[in-house]
Amino acid sequence: GDENSNSDSLKDPYAVLGISRKASSGEIKNAYRQLVNQYHPDKVSYLGVEFRELAEKRFREINKAYQELTSK
């Protein structure tokens, strides 16, 4: 069923990590590390609750994308 076709759970993991589909596992790892550093909830806590919640959502997306790409 595609009942959640309009939710973010179907985001392209390559797009989430901002890399090309030809990216090597090393490039995937580097992109992931950079984004995790950027969006880590602890790093943005000083910016306020709203931003922190956004960062947490993005953080989860990034982790999910990375797992999808590395579990193949």
| Residue 70 C-alpha from the chain's centroid | 13
pLDDT for res 40: 83
Report the chain (72 residues): mean pLDDT per 10 consecutive residues: 46 94 96 92 85 92 95 78
pLDDT for res 4: 42
Q: Which of 43, 4, 38 has its CA nearest to residue 18?
A: 38
Spatial neighbors of 25 by CB under 8 A, at least 6 apart, are: 70
Task: Report the alpha-carbon distance of residue 39 to residue 33 in Å, rounded.
Answer: 10
Q: List alpha helices for 1-72, DSSP H.
A: 13-17, 25-39, 41-44, 49-70
pLDDT for res 6: 44
